[in-house]
Amino acid sequence: MKRSSLAVWALSGAVLLGHLSAVAQDASAQAAVPQSSQSSTSQNSMSQDIDLLRKDIRSQKKQLIAANMPLTDTEAQKFWPVYDQYTGELVKINNDKYALIQEYAQNYGNMTDAQADNWSGRLLKVDADVTALRQTYWTNFRKVLPAKKAALYEQIERRAQMLIEIQLASQIPLVQP
Contact 60, 9 (CB under 8 A): yes
Q: What is the spatial distance between Cα 17 and Cα 8, in angstroms, rounded to a whole number?
A: 14
pLDDT (mean) for 104-119: 92
Q: Cβ contacts of residue 97 below 8 Å, gap of 6+?
A: 123, 126
The alpha-helical segments, DSSP class H, found in the chain are 3-29, 40-68, 73-107, 113-144, 147-171
Element (H, E) at 26: helix 3-29
**Residue 110 burial (10 A CB sphere; 0-12, 13-18, 19+):** exposed
Q: What is the spatial distance between Cα 61 and Cα 65, in angstroms, rounded to a whole number?
A: 6
Mean pLDDT of the chain: 82
Instruction: Give me the numbers of helices (H) and strands (E) for the chain, helices first please.
Output: 5, 0
Q: Mind listing the pLDDT tens digit for each residue in 62-98?
A: 999 999 999 999 999 999 999 999 999 999 999 999 9
Residue 27 sits at φ, ψ, to 5 deg, of -65, -40
The whole-number pLDDT of residue 22 equals: 52
Lowest mean pLDDT among 4-18, 66-80, 92-106, 154-168: 4-18
The whole-number pLDDT of residue 30 equals: 45
Residues of the chain above pLDDT 70, percent: 75
Q: Is 30 helix (H, G, I), strand (E, B) or coil?
A: coil
At residue 8, does pLDDT exceed 50? no
Contact 77, 113 (CB under 8 A): no
Residue 175 sits at φ, ψ, to 5 deg, of -60, 135
Q: Mind listing the pLDDT tens digit for each residue in 121-144?
A: 999 999 999 999 999 999 999 999
pLDDT greater at residue 153 or residue 30: 153
The whole-number pLDDT of residue 27 equals: 44
The whole-number pLDDT of residue 89 equals: 97
Q: Cβ contacts of residue 74 below 8 Å, gap of 6+?
A: none
Residues of the chain above pLDDT 90, percent: 55
pLDDT (mean) for 148-164: 94
